[in-house]
Amino acid sequence: MAHYTPPLRDMQFVLHELLRVTDTFKTLPPHAEVDIETVNAVLEEGGKFAREVIAPLNQSGDAEGCTLDRDTHEVKAPGGFQAAYAQYVEGGWPSLGCDLAYGGQGLPVTLNQCLYEMLNSANQAWTMYPGLTHGAYECLHAHGTPEQQQTYLPKLTSGEWTGTMCLTEAHCGTDLGLLRTKAEPSLDPSADGSFLITGNKIFISAGEHDLAANIIHLVLARLPEAPLGSKGISLFVVPKFLVAADGSLGARNPIFCGALEHKMGIHGNATCQMNLDGARGWLVGPPHKGLNAMFVMMNAARLGVGMQSLGLTEVAYQNAAAYAKDRLQMRSLTGPKAPDKPADPIIVHPDVRKMLLTARAYAEGGRALAVFTALLIDQELSSTDKTVKQDAADLVALLTPIVKAFLTDNAWIATSHCMQVFGGHGYVREWGMEQFVRDARINMTYEGTNTIQSLDLLGRKVLGDNGKKLKKFGALVQQLIDDEGVNEAMSEFINPLADLGDKVTKLSTELGMKAFGNPDEVGAAAVDYLRVVGHLVFAYFWARMARVALNHADNGDPFYRAKLATARFYFAKLLPETAGLIRTARAGAKPLMDMDASLF
Amino acid sequence: MAHYTPPLRDMQFVLHELLRVTDTFKTLPPHAEVDIETVNAVLEEGGKFAREVIAPLNQSGDAEGCTLDRDTHEVKAPGGFQAAYAQYVEGGWPSLGCDLAYGGQGLPVTLNQCLYEMLNSANQAWTMYPGLTHGAYECLHAHGTPEQQQTYLPKLTSGEWTGTMCLTEAHCGTDLGLLRTKAEPSLDPSADGSFLITGNKIFISAGEHDLAANIIHLVLARLPEAPLGSKGISLFVVPKFLVAADGSLGARNPIFCGALEHKMGIHGNATCQMNLDGARGWLVGPPHKGLNAMFVMMNAARLGVGMQSLGLTEVAYQNAAAYAKDRLQMRSLTGPKAPDKPADPIIVHPDVRKMLLTARAYAEGGRALAVFTALLIDQELSSTDKTVKQDAADLVALLTPIVKAFLTDNAWIATSHCMQVFGGHGYVREWGMEQFVRDARINMTYEGTNTIQSLDLLGRKVLGDNGKKLKKFGALVQQLIDDEGVNEAMSEFINPLADLGDKVTKLSTELGMKAFGNPDEVGAAAVDYLRVVGHLVFAYFWARMARVALNHADNGDPFYRAKLATARFYFAKLLPETAGLIRTARAGAKPLMDMDASLF
């Protein structure tokens, strides 16, 4: 059975030594009092919950899955999920990052992200229940009427109720402009401003379950005579049970789970087909602007998906590293390392180390990026300095598709490597390694496929503003180069970083020129481009982490020795992937578009 | 539900236009009469069986899995597998490539490989039952006593009995030298030269099932006082039911299935823990030389695993291409391509094409390599010319780890891409795409992990003979360059091929030098090195395929236009991966070995 230990030491390194988050918190009025001790205490307690309460339910939840009672339309989550969720609510964890006005604790997003990394390491399927709730909370917090906020936000904050996003229909996922679910004004004389919503949604995560008393669905639908396409879509809040003025639960709203999807992974989360048959819903935000409102949720969800994959990378690494130190098989090619044993532990073999270090470098690099991005969100939300706020918003916009796509692609690579370390045992369920791979796979697809992320990055975030946002990240890179350029010990990191920075600038310019002539050039290069920029971002953080580690080079603390060795591994063995990617990005659209569709 | 159409046109292209296999058959006495019509007729019938009989059982077999009766120790394969197998035996398919002396049809290995590609596309889990039988057949054919051959080979040839390889134990997979199963001379006065074998094996594919009347296990075990390690292992044939002199089945031999493994994929194949409790077995080959004998099976099995992944790549491609032409989502960035429809088919999008073409180029390149290798095996087995025989044997030795590891890594990439083309639908079981990914995953691990393959290639096959075998492949590449170097139309293929050939030569020399100083340099570079050489091999075949296609450039046949477009895609978008791989291969062992094991 797989095990999990919250990586508190490495989180503290990123938070306090690399990014000094409390220095930034001091500049943000709502968080000025959040000190290192508070941060560490929250993470320690959160990690304890993850390790002790939900990690033990991960494999059993996968094996058991969810079940639908076709008569009552009720869904049962795997055994133990309900009690764990009750304990989560009891502990106040849902409210961590929520607004004080609705009973939240008002702590920084940065802390919430670290909590979610740990929850996802322990049990991604379980974590999706509270995770989607937080998305619904954010959407209503940003776009709901005061009345809606008063009705729903306190219960979403406490976690007594959970939330969903109901977007996809069978014929449309990426292209929501095609959706058909209809919303019609209620003809009931007791009308309360509600609409009657009818249609069928698919792939609704946590769409129905037995963890909470009510489920608040945020549903995309079309008003009568709405314009065609994505400009005719509105957003509605549709509770499972109607809520009376006094907050008590009323009639069951006809939004029912019609079927559960049987999936490759995340079996513990109920992926529902939801049928709305005149379900009562209330407009959130202006008519026909539903996609805008939904994108608040979507951007948070994309970062959340990155955290899912970061969590899986970390836990897969931990298990593979432990196995590699324990499993005896063959001798080191340079002579026995454990001569008293029948064979050496497999960690003596260079390629086993390569697989492990790949996962480790992706986990630790991903953690730095994820915490950095969360801290920017805190600045975007709470800074009193307009320039800081705008810069933070621009960097968040730039980094969101990278967190989503780069971290999820990396987790696919890393979890597969970690499974491979187990040999045939990795393919067998009991060790839990193949589950990490199956769970990780969905992260590349949902909340906007990784292709969509790459189009968002190259088309909208980079070329869409003539590289303005990219230059803001480039300025950070340049600052580091300027600061460290004279430091001989840092040259092994700074030189390749600077070189890649130049190449990204050139590549961006070249792709921008080509895109003028042929928009397909963006689509042809975008996926490779995102991976190149992802490596630039990782190289930046690995250089910075190496810098911190070098400061401690003489004190013999093994943590810093490991950090430095991992940084060197990253630059030697992972970063060079960019050499091929830049070539394929530059190879353009012609080799893709030349073949007639009929010839495929 | 997934569908499958045997790629007969492309197989015929590879067999008859690219490799002209019947010209080679004419030089091989046993196959001199095998003409184009025979080849095509066999493939057509074999394809029909694959498509009509076993493809419809693929998803149902995955969902149902195998079941063990703990009282009788009998295993039930999924419903339909038994009848399909009976039909396979009835059709004479098991005997295709078997020796005439034992009732076989004596057809070339080349044809058998093409049959297996199709069977694996249709249903890998089912195909493993006959596939492992063929391995047992080959082992006994090469190493059995005449009596053993007479006892077992006719029934293995007909398929009435199936076979297994019992190697792995819980504590040893890669490192068989550690195995503990014991073989003791029988004390029975009626002794028939048998040994009593006791021990526990795991991961035994098709170890127990209800498809055949008897199962012939080939079991590795230690004789009393055998030397420690891999030089003390002997091979035994251990039938499930003892066989009387008249060929009738006698007593049940105590080799029982104790448990079935629950796996990520290939659910339809019974992966058994086998307990031997004084099971009667007969020595195959000399005492203590069991690994040598087993390697006959192993090499065939490795090529067989390559065919599994080739089959999965092909079928995943077919389904994804069909979906991409059908699924409407978004508009082409260059303007609507299906203006009469609500959206364009997703095949208009460059990255969808990139994912499809990746799978297609890997399938078609893999097919060329696989058939080429099979044809070499036919030459190795049947040529009357000693030089041809030796050259063929050397090339087979060189190419076997590439077929195994490169094709299986490619299938992992390709099946995942093809699943991604389906968006969220790919993650759901009903479409069958995620099963291809799960099934493909084991191919990277069993029959020697891909790391072991890469060590075999670099350490043994390349450096072990100072590049002699590699130079034989290099001579083929050079011949093509010499032949086509003056052909302007071929320069887009010949130039990068020549360039990569030079780089492989340099890299091999450099790694050989480094290995003298530090054997870990081999382990550190081997996986990247294998992928680079894999691309060299693919570039060679894609250049040759482009050459054939160019000959037909003017006749407008869409088959050749597609072939040429895929060749161009391969050189533009897949081959450049080598730029990064060569760098990481050269980055050496230090970044892997520097970190103390305790720091992982």
Q: Does A324 contact B420 at a Cβ distance shorter than 8 Å? A: no
Q: Which residues of B229-242 are buried (b: 16+ CB within 10 A; e: fewer)?
A: eeebbbbbbbbbbb
pLDDT for residue B294: 86
How close A330 comes to chain B (CA, Å)? 5
Q: Does A333 contact B594 at a Cβ distance shorter than 8 Å? A: no
* d(C-alpha A360, C-alpha A526), whole Å: 26
Contact list, B364 vs chain A (CB under 8 Å): none
Q: Which of B380, B447, B484, B521 is catalytic?
A: B447
Kindly write down the DSSP assignment for every residue of A287-346, as one continuous string. TTBHHHHHHHHHHHHHHHHHHHHHHHHHHHHHHHHHHHHH-B-S--TTS-SSTTSSS-BG
* d(C-alpha B381, C-alpha B391), whole Å: 12
pLDDT digits (tens, 9 = 90+) for B456-466: 999 999 999 99
Rounded-to-5 percentages of helix, strand, coil across chain A:
65, 10, 25
Sorted by sequence, the CB contacts under 8 Å of residue B374 that are 6+ apart come out as B108, B109, B110, B112, B113, B114, B303
pLDDT digits (tens, 9 = 90+) for B324-371: 999 999 999 999 999 999 999 999 999 999 999 999 999 999 999 999
- B298 has pLDDT over 90: no
Q: Does B583 contact A576 at a Cβ distance shorter than 8 Å? A: yes
How close B430 comes to chain A (CA, Å)? 8
* d(C-alpha A404, C-alpha A445), whole Å: 10
Neighbours of B509 (CB within 10 A): 12
- B583 has pLDDT over 80: yes
- CB distance A165 to A299 below 8 Å: no
The region of weakest confidence among A272-281, B3-12, B189-198 is: B189-198
Sorted by sequence, the CB contacts under 8 Å of residue B196 that are 6+ apart come out as B183, B184, B185, B186, B278, B279, B280, B281
Residue type at position A427: Y
pLDDT for residue A46: 98
Q: Chain B: residue nearest A319 by CA?
A: B600
- B181 has pLDDT over 90: yes
- CB distance A236 to A283 below 8 Å: yes
Q: Which helix (H) or strand (E) holds A84?
A: helix A81-90
Instruction: Give the residue-averaged pLDDT of B8-12.
Output: 98
How close A592 comes to chain B (CA, Å)? 6
pLDDT for residue A124: 98
The residue written with tokens 């009788």 in the block is B72
Using a pLDDT cut of 90, give the percent of chain B over it. 95
Q: Angle A123-A127-A129 (CA atoms, 0-180°, nearest 5)?
A: 140
Contact list, A576 vs chain B (CB under 8 Å): 580, 583-584, 587
The region of weakest confidence among A124-128, B284-288, B290-294, B319-323 is: B290-294
Contact list, B514 vs chain A (CB under 8 Å): none
Quote the ipTM score: 0.97
* d(C-alpha A183, C-alpha B427), whole Å: 30
User: Roughly how many angstroms between the first and final C-alpha of chain B, as a whole number?
Assistant: 44
Contact list, A442 vs chain B (CB under 8 Å): 427
Across A148-286, the runs of DSSP E, i.e. the strands, are 161-166, 182-185, 195-205, 214-221, 234-239, 241-243, 249-252, 255-260, 271-284
| B341 backbone dihedrals φ, ψ, rounded to 5° | -110, 160
Q: Which helix (H) or strand (E) holds B11?
A: helix B8-12
Q: Does B351 contact A430 at a Cβ distance shorter than 8 Å? A: no
Candidate from B172, B332, B527 with C-beta closest to A329: B172
pLDDT digits (tens, 9 = 90+) for A19-38: 999 999 999 999 999 999 99
Contact list, A347 vs chain B (CB under 8 Å): 597, 600
Residue from B325, B330, B354 to probe the interface with A (highest A Cβ count within 10 Å): B354
Token digits of residue A5: 């230990």
Q: How far is CA A350 from CA A353, B46, B518, in A?
A: 5, 43, 12
Q: Does B348 contact A429 at a Cβ distance shorter than 8 Å? A: no
pLDDT for residue A81: 98
- Can you give the pTM of this predicted structure? 0.98
- B114 has pLDDT over 90: yes
pLDDT for residue A189: 66
* d(C-alpha A232, C-alpha A286), whole Å: 11
The residue written with tokens 């789970």 in the block is A257
Q: Does B569 contact A592 at a Cβ distance shorter than 8 Å? A: yes
Residues of A carrying an active site annotation = 447
Candidate from A347, A434, A578 with C-beta closest to B600: A347
- B267 has pLDDT over 90: yes
CA-closest candidate to residue A424, choices B167, B347, B137, B26: B167
How close A599 comes to chain B (CA, Å)? 6
- Using 70 as the pLDDT threshold, list the residues of chain A that sit under it: 189
Residue from A532, A573, A574, A582 to probe the interface with B (highest B Cβ count within 10 Å): A573
pLDDT digits (tens, 9 = 90+) for B65-97: 999 999 999 999 999 999 999 999 999 999 999
How many pairs of residues across A and B have Cβ atoms under 8 Å apart? Answer: 274
pLDDT for residue A284: 97
pLDDT for residue A462: 98
Contact list, A333 vs chain B (CB under 8 Å): 519-520, 522-523
pLDDT digits (tens, 9 = 90+) for B386-424: 999 999 999 999 999 999 999 999 999 999 999 999 999
- B189 has pLDDT over 70: no
Q: What is the DSSP letter of A462?
A: I
* d(C-alpha B69, C-alpha B77), whole Å: 11
DSSP-assigned beta bridge partners for residue A128: none
- B247 has pLDDT over 80: yes
Q: Does A599 contact B558 at a Cβ distance shorter than 8 Å? A: yes
Q: Does B576 contact A587 at a Cβ distance shorter than 8 Å? A: yes
- CB distance B481 to B500 below 8 Å: no
pLDDT digits (tens, 9 = 90+) for B136-172: 999 999 999 999 999 999 999 999 999 999 999 999 9
Dihedral angle sign, alpha carbons of residues B195, B200, B206, B210: positive
pLDDT digits (tens, 9 = 90+) for A396-445: 999 999 999 999 999 999 999 999 999 999 999 999 999 999 999 999 99
How close A323 comes to chain B (CA, Å)? 11
Candidate from A173, A350, A427 with C-beta closest to B423: A173
How close B422 comes to chain A (CA, Å)? 9
Alpha helical stretches, state H, B465-519: 468-484, 491-517
B447 labelled catalytic: yes
